[in-house]
Amino acid sequence: MKPIYFDNHATTPVDPRVLEAMLPYFTEHFGNAASRNHSYGWTAEDAVEKARKQIASLVGATSKEIVFTSGATESNNLAIKGVAEMYAEKGNHIITAATEHKATLDTCKHLEKKGCRITYLPVKGDGLIDLDMLRDAITEKTILVSLMYANNEIGVVQPIAEIGKLCKEKGVLFHTDAVQACGKIPVNVIADGVDLLSLSAHKMYGPKGVGALYVRRKGPRVQLTAQMDGGGHERGMRSGTLNVPGIAGLGAACEISQNDMPTESVRLRGLRDRLRATLEANLEEVYINGSMEHRLPHNLNMSFAYVEGESLLMGINDIAVSSGSACTSATLEPSYVLKALGLGDDMAHTSIRFGIGRFNTEEEVDYVAKKMIDVVNKLRELSPLWEMFKEGIDLSKVQWTAH
Amino acid sequence: MAYSDKVVDHYNNPRNVGSFDKSRADIGTGMVGAPECGDVMKLQIQVNAATGVIEDAKFKTFGCGSAIASSSLATEWLKGKTVDQALEIKNTDIVNELSLPPVKIHCSVLAEDAIKAAIDDYKAKQGAGAPAEAVTH
């Protein structure tokens, strides 16, 4: 039996309706969208322009503001590096946050080496940034604020509209990595005051390897320095032959997500809350990481005190989730996102991220909850820390032999 | 990461889980590791003072599957050995038996440390000639 997939923040399966929209563009309509002088090219171009409209509609933009990329990592690179180069005469200061995705953080680190000054805002205990701190961080040299819409680990949704308003007031461009939010919660670049927005197909039931960057054309007209040289596709911002089947899939994924959002977000929230309620009713010493109020409807991130994350994953090997534990990462460091919330390493080690998706059912939620409860109880029986906690020993006062 | 069959077996059916009264004179307790590092092992031995033979051993471990398996295996190996024989158990023996990958070698090191700590505790109690408070590190 295949494991139950509860890791929808990592990636999502392609919706069969999306696949159907893609298939003709692999074989029958294989043309290059840049071929202007025959019907193969025109058909491909039509598909691309249809997708552009579908994407623009999802985020409240116009078609001409959508630039296709290979995914959100490229979108983030293009937005941040493109602004840093284009606006270098205006300033060299960029503001981001400690809990951003590596595609943003590492791009900023790269620019830091090239002479940019980067401010990494801390977050509060609930994962939200402090707007006053952001306001104070903006200087005359600030050219860009890059803050994610919703976090990939804890699902916390930042006050994007307030950030957008503040950036507008200060005359600073605002980029948001909206990979986790697009198609899940309402995103509108006008209402949110966003100038640049990254999104990806594979987080919303589209294919891997395709994404987009929204680039505002009016009020202000945002310019970017291209990061790849070539045929000058995508209005000179991103060269490279367009991935027509992928783009058709991204478009279809956006349209389906937009149509289904009112009912689907309610359904997912119901499933997530059911999971949370069952776990909390049956287990003591479980803690939610990040704000529950400002959160994606399908995300739950919980720490199960006194059990180690990797052993927990081993016990639930018929369920696909991810852990903030060091042991599951290549770096042997526990999640930097959870640490940024002020969580100790010990609690970060015990965290599990649940990402519920379009194809999950209530039966699956109940199975996952029961399995989690069984395994946590079993591992606590095995845990010397649980035993000490039950004896009333304050673990923070014990002198451990760090190794 | 794929676990070896032996690690999976110890994880699913851990041997000798539990605790002895650590204040008893015939019990040695070793607790090693730290919660921040993601693993803590508590290993206890019950020693026959007349023969010096470890008659029983118990463990509790907070840690990954390899840490649980290393300590579970250690309790199996300890039973029936004399204290001196127990001191000869090396972490590399555990690595070999459980086919631990390089990133999990520290689990076996921790198990060896736990064995030594338990024996030290037992010997300290014997030396003191009276039940002493167990050292927790």
Smallest CA–CA distance, residue A127 to chain B, in Å, is 21
Provide the CA A343 distance to its chain's centre, in angstroms.
21
Could you read off the pLDDT of A66-85 as tens digits, one per residue? 999 999 999 999 999 999 99
Residue A384 to residue B31, Cβ atoms within 8 A? yes
pLDDT at B35: 87
The enclosing H or E element of A120 equals: strand A117-121
Q: What is the share, in percent, of chain A residues with pLDDT greater than 90?
A: 90
A165, HSE (Cβ side, Cα atoms, 13 Å): 7
Cα(A95)–Cα(B93) distance, integer angstroms: 52
Size of interface A-B (CB pairs under 8 A): 92
Omega before A122 within 30 of 0, i.e. cis:
no
Best A304, A313, A314, A375 residue to mutate vs chain B (most B CBs within 10 Å): A314
pLDDT at A323: 81
pLDDT greater than 50 at residue A324: yes
Residue B132's pLDDT band (boundaries 50, 70, 90)? very low
| Predicted complex ipTM | 0.90
C-alpha to C-alpha distances, A67 to A40, A70, A87, A215, A247, nearest whole angstrom = 22, 10, 19, 7, 11
Residue A383 touches chain B, beta carbons under 8 Å: yes
| Residues of chain B neighbouring A310 (CB-CB closer than 8 A) | 38, 64-65
Q: State the sign of the Cα–Cα–Cα–Cα dihedral B57, A392, A383, A396.
A: negative
Q: Which of residues 123-162 of A touch B (CB under 8 A)?
A: none
| Residues of chain B neighbouring A395 (CB-CB closer than 8 A) | 35
pLDDT at A332: 56
What is the secondary structure of A280-342 as a DSSP string? HHH-SSEEE-S-SSSB-TTEEEEEETTS-HHHHHHHTTTEE-EE--GGGSTTS---HHHHHTT
pLDDT greater than 60 at residue B104: yes
**Minimum-distance CB partner of A308 among B8, B17, B39:** B39
Residue B34 to residue A401, Cβ atoms within 8 A? yes
Residue B110 to residue A384, Cβ atoms within 8 A? no
pTM of the model: 0.91
The mean pLDDT of chain B is 91
**Minimum-distance CB partner of B35 among A314, A387, A395:** A395
Mean pLDDT of A42-55: 98
| Residues of chain A neighbouring B136 (CB-CB closer than 8 A) | 398-399
Highest-scoring range by mean pLDDT, A235-239, A309-313, A394-398? A235-239
Cα(A237)–Cα(A85) distance, integer angstroms: 13
Residue B32 to residue A403, Cβ atoms within 8 A? yes
Residue B60 to residue A344, Cβ atoms within 8 A? no
Name the nearest CA neighbour of A327 among B12, B1, B111: B1
Written as one letter, the residue type at A78 is L
Search chain B and give the residue with CA nearest A343. B36
Written as one letter, the residue type at A203 is K
Q: How many residues does chain B have?
A: 137
**The one catalytic residue among B12, B19, B34, B37:** B37
Residue B33 to residue A325, Cβ atoms within 8 A? no
The pair of structure tokens assigned to A380 is 């606590």
Q: How many residues does chain A have?
A: 403
C-alpha to C-alpha distances, B136 to A165, A355, B34, B43, nearest whole angstrom = 55, 39, 11, 11
pLDDT greater than 90 at residue A310: no
pLDDT greater than 90 at residue B1: no
Residues of A taking part in catalysis: 327
**Minimum-distance CB partner of B64 among A308, A345, A346:** A308
Among A42-56, A272-286, A324-338, B9-23, the minimum mean pLDDT is found in A324-338
Q: Which of residues 253-292 of A touch B (CB under 8 A)?
A: none
Could you read off the pLDDT of A344-387 as tens digits, one per residue? 888 888 899 999 999 999 999 999 999 999 999 999 999 999 99
pLDDT at A326: 53
Encode chain B in three state secondary structure.
CCCCHHHHHHHHCCCCECCCCCCCCCEEEEEEEEHHHCEEEEEEEEEECCCCEEEEEEEEEECCHHHHHHHHHHHHHHCCCEHHHHCCCCHHHHHHHHCCCHHHHHHHHHHHHHHHHHHHHHHHHHHHCCCCCCCCC
B85, HSE (Cβ side, Cα atoms, 13 Å): 12
Smallest CA–CA distance, residue B125 to chain A, in Å, is 20
Name the nearest CA neighbour of A355 among A393, A298, A396, A308: A298
Could you read off the pLDDT of A241-274 as tens digits, one per residue? 999 999 999 999 999 999 999 999 999 999 999 9
pLDDT greater than 50 at residue A328: no
Name the nearest CA neighbour of A25 among A201, A203, A207, A240: A207
**Minimum-distance CB partner of B11 among A314, A386, A398:** A314
Q: Which residues of B touch A (CB under 8 A)?
A: 3, 8, 11, 14, 17, 19, 31-42, 60-65, 67-68, 103, 106, 109-110, 113, 136-137
Among A186-190, A285-289, A333-337, the minimum mean pLDDT is found in A333-337
The enclosing H or E element of A154 equals: none
pLDDT at A248: 98
| Residues of chain B neighbouring A387 (CB-CB closer than 8 A) | 19, 42, 60
Residue A345 to residue B17, Cβ atoms within 8 A? no
Could you read off the pLDDT of A8-18 as tens digits, one per residue? 999 999 999 99
Mean pLDDT of B61-90: 96
